[in-house]
Amino acid sequence: MSLSTPEIQELMERVHELEIRAKKLVHEMFAGDYYSSFKGRGLDFDDYREYHAGDEVRFMDWNATARTGEPYIRTFREERELNVFLVIDVSRSTLYGSTEKSKRYLAAEVAATLAFSAVSNNDKVGLILFADKPLKYLPPEGGKKQVLKIIRETLQADASEGHTSLSETCKFLNRVSPRKALVFLISDFQDMSLERSLATTAYRHDLIALRLEDPAEARLPKAGKVSLSDPETGHQIIIDTKNSNIRMAYRKLRARFIEGLSRFFKKHSVDYTSFSTQGDFYPKLHKLLRARAARKN
C-alpha cells in the first residue's frame, strides 16, 4: 500500500506513540508477568539422575527406575529463547471504532506491549497479518527494530482483502513454525469456522486468544430505522431499532456468539480474554498472565 508523505508522517507519529506507551507498560507492569507466565515453556530432555528427597515426583522415570532398581528422575534444560508469534487480524471489520481508537489500533497497542515484553526476555517475535488469507509474514527476530516493524505493519496493513478467515492462516503458521511456539491470536473472530482451523494449531502450539471488541457492538441503540453494513461482506440491511424484539434478538445472538467462543477455547485449553476499544486493556492482560503463572506454580 503506497502512502503519501502526510500519511507516512502520521503513521510514524502513531508508531512512536505506541512505542512509548508499550515500553512504559512493560517496564511498570508486564515484564515480571511475562517472565513468570512463559519461562520454561521450551524444555528439552537432558539426562537422568538418582531421585533425591524433595524432587518433583512428576519427573520420575518409571522405566529407568524399574531397570536399575533405584528411583530415577528425568532432568530438563530450558531453551534459551522462545519463538513468539503475533497473529493479527487486519480484515475490514478491525477498522471499526466508535471510541477514540479502532479495533486495529487496539490490536497494534496490544501487539506492541507483548512484543516489547518478549524481546526484553530475549525471545524472538514474528508477525503474521491476515484477513481472508495470510497477508504479511515477518520471521521471528529479536530487538527493538523488529518490534517497530510489527507496529508499523499492523497499522498500515491494507484492509481491502475483505473478510476474516482463519483456516489458511493457521495452516501457514503450522508450516513456518513446525516446532512449538507461543502464539497470540488477536482478532474480533468474525470467522465462525473455528473448530477445524484452530484445533490443530491449539494442539501444536501454546495458543492464547485475544478478542477485540467495541462497546457499540454490544447492543443496538433505540434509534429508529437504521442501515447496517457488514464491513466484511459489504451486505447491507435496514432495520427498525425501535422494535424491542429486534433489539432483544440482537443481544441474544451476540451473547450466543461470545459464549460459543468461550466454550470452544475452553474445550481446546486455550487461554482467552477480550479487550475493548473503550478503556485500557492492560488490567485484563495482567489478570490473564497472573492466572497462567499461578497454574504453572
pLDDT tens digit string along 66-112? 878 888 887 765 555 679 999 999 998 899 898 889 999 999 999 99
At residue 145 the predicted structure's pLDDT band, cuts being 50, 70 and 90, is very high
Segment 237-249, tens digit of pLDDT: 787 778 888 888 8
Residues 63 and 203 in one domain: no
**Average pLDDT of the residues in 41-59:** 69
Question: How many other β-carbons are positioned within 10 Å of the β-carbon of residue 21?
Answer: 14
Residues 183 and 50 in one domain: no
Residues 15 and 162 in one domain: yes
Residue 42 has pLDDT above 60, yes or no: no
284-291 CB contacts, 8 Å cutoff, 24+ apart? 285/30, 285/110, 285/113, 285/210, 286/29, 286/30, 286/33, 288/208, 289/30, 289/33, 289/34, 289/36, 289/37, 290/33, 290/37
CA distance 169 to 175: 10
Residues 164 and 254 in one domain: yes
Half-sphere exposure of 99 (CA within 13 A, CB side): 16
Q: Could you tell me the CA-to-CA distances from 238 to 17, 229, 266 in Å, in that order?
A: 39, 9, 36
Residues 67 and 173 in one domain: no
The domain that holds 113 is classified in CATH as 3.40.50.410
Segment 102-143, tens digit of pLDDT: 999 999 999 999 999 999 888 999 999 999 889 999 999 999
Average pLDDT over the chain, rounded to whole? 85
Least confident of 9-23, 151-165, 278-292: 151-165
Amino acid 68: pLDDT: 80
Residues 53 and 13 in one domain: no
Q: How many domains does the chain have?
A: 2
Residues 184 and 270 in one domain: yes
At residue 39 the predicted structure's pLDDT band, cuts being 50, 70 and 90, is low
**Average pLDDT of the residues in 181-187:** 95
Between these two residues, 3 and 295, which has the higher pLDDT value? 295
Amino acid 44: pLDDT: 55
Least confident of 29-43, 54-68, 87-101, 179-193: 29-43
Residues 69 and 205 in one domain: no
Least confident of 14-28, 34-48, 248-262: 34-48
At residue 150 the predicted structure's pLDDT band, cuts being 50, 70 and 90, is very high
Residues 67 and 93 in one domain: no
> What does residue 140 show for φ and ψ, rounded to 5 degrees?
-60, 130
Which bin fits 3, alpha (ψ -120 to 50), beta or left (φ > 0)? beta
Last residue of a domain, one of 58, 78, 98: 78
Residues 143 and 267 in one domain: yes
Residues 107 and 166 in one domain: yes
Least confident of 41-55, 114-128, 140-154, 260-274: 41-55
Domain extent at residue 56: 43-78
Matching residue, cell 517472565: 35
At residue 46 the predicted structure's pLDDT band, cuts being 50, 70 and 90, is low
CA distance 179 to 268: 19
Residues 56 and 200 in one domain: no
